[in-house]
Amino acid sequence: MYKRKNIFLLINFVLLFFLVIRGSYLYKTLGKKKTGFEDLYNNKIEVRGTVCSEAELDYHFRRFVVCNEKKILVTTSLYPEYNYGDVLLIQGLLQEPNNFSDFDYKKYLAGKGIYALFYYPNIQYFENSNLSFSSRLMKGVYGVKWKLKKAINKGLPEPEAGLANALLLGYKKALYVDDREAFSKAGLSHLIVISGAHVTILSSLILSFFIFLGLSKKASLRFVFLFLFTYPFLVGLSSSSVRASIMGALLFIAYYYGRLSNMLNAVVFAANIMLLFRPLSLFIDVGFQLSFAAVLGIMYIYPLGRQITKKLKEIKINNLNKLSYFWDAFSLTLACQVAVFPIIAYHFQSFSSLSFLANPLIAWILYPLIATLVVSLLLSLVFQGLAFIIFIPAYFLLFIFQRFAYFVASFSNLYFSISNFGVKEVFLYYFCLIFILSWMYRKKKRKYSRRKNKKYNKLKKTKIRLK
Tell me the pLDDT tens digit for each residue of 247-282.
777 777 776 666 655 678 888 888 888 888 888 888
Q: What is the pLDDT of residues 300-341, one digit of tens each?
A: 888 887 666 666 565 655 555 556 666 666 777 778 888 888
* Cβ–Cβ under 8 Å, residues 419 and 349: yes
Count of structural domains, the chain: 2
Position 241 scores a pLDDT of 79
Q: What is the pLDDT of residues 423-452, one digit of tens each?
A: 888 899 999 999 988 888 888 777 766 666
Strands (E) located in 316-463:
350-352, 415-417
Q: Is the pLDDT of residue 463 over 70?
A: no
Range of the domain at 105: 43-131
Helix (H, G, I), strand (E, B) or coil at 119: strand
The domain spanning residue 95 has which CATH number? 2.40.50.140
Average pLDDT, the chain: 81
Are residue 283 and residue 411 in the same domain, yes or no? yes
* Cβ–Cβ under 8 Å, residues 267 and 221: no
25 in any annotated domain: no
Are residue 79 and residue 152 in the same domain, yes or no? no
CA separation, residue 300 to residues 9, 185, 247, 297, 435 (Å): 17, 27, 17, 5, 12
Nearest alpha-carbon partner for 144 in 77, 235, 78: 235
Helix axis angle, 286-300 relative to 263-277, nearest 10°? 170
Are residue 302 and residue 168 in the same domain, yes or no? yes
Are residue 71 and residue 175 in the same domain, yes or no? no
Nearest alpha-carbon partner for 281 in 465, 104, 108: 108
Position 343 scores a pLDDT of 87
Q: What is the pTM of this model?
A: 0.77
Are residue 144 and residue 127 in the same domain, yes or no? no
Query: Mind giving me the DSSP string for 342-383?
Result: HHHHHHHSEEETTHHHHHHHHGGGHHHHHHHHHHHHHHHHHS
* Cβ–Cβ under 8 Å, residues 402 and 191: no
* Cβ–Cβ under 8 Å, residues 422 and 347: no
Q: What is the chain's length?
A: 467
Helix axis angle, 286-300 relative to 239-256, nearest 10°? 40
Are residue 169 and residue 101 in the same domain, yes or no? no
Cβ partners under 8 Å of residue 238, min gap 6: 170, 193, 194, 232, 287
125 in any annotated domain: yes
- Radius of gyration, alpha carbons of the chain: 25
Are residue 403 and residue 292 in the same domain, yes or no? yes
